[in-house]
Amino acid sequence: MDNRAKLMDLSVLQLTARYGGLYVLTVTTPQSEEDEVVKLAQSLSSKAKKVYGLSGTQKFELPKDEVSIADVFIAVANAKNHLNIQAWGLADTTLEDVFVNIAKEAQGASLTLS
């Protein structure tokens, strides 16, 4: 069964549960503080993965099984004492994120087969 057929059999909730399992943390600071934000994300989870960074805005994936929402709020509140956090947000994995992950997985599988 190919990936398209698998997707047709799954609901949105099943897809996000199966391929998601992540929180998405976005933090905006001055560029000079980007390294400190990386340390913040890594302090929340050793498996924190930086998805992108551009002009002081960074996006991280945090595994839900290692991070609680309360821990993120506390960590960001504490970080505001020494960082100039201009904006931040925490979101659940979106369906778009799921499809990107599935596409990356499929691309990786096709690369290893050739």
Residue ranges of domains in the chain, CATH in brackets: 21-106 (3.30.70.1150)
pTM of the model: 0.75
Residue 48 confidence (pLDDT)? 97
Candidates 61, 90, 60; CA nearest to 74 is: 90
Candidates 79, 78, 76, 35; CA nearest to 56 is: 35
H or E element in which residue 5 lies: helix 3-8
The answer to whether 94 and 59 have CB atoms below 8 angstroms apart is no
Can you read off the two tokens belonging to residue 69? 């929402």
Task: Give 4's pLDDT tier (boundaries 50, 70, 90).
Answer: low
Give the model confidence (pLDDT) of 22-55 as tens digits. 999 999 999 999 999 999 999 999 999 999 999 9
Residue 114 confidence (pLDDT)? 46
Can you read off the two tokens belonging to residue 83? 């960082």
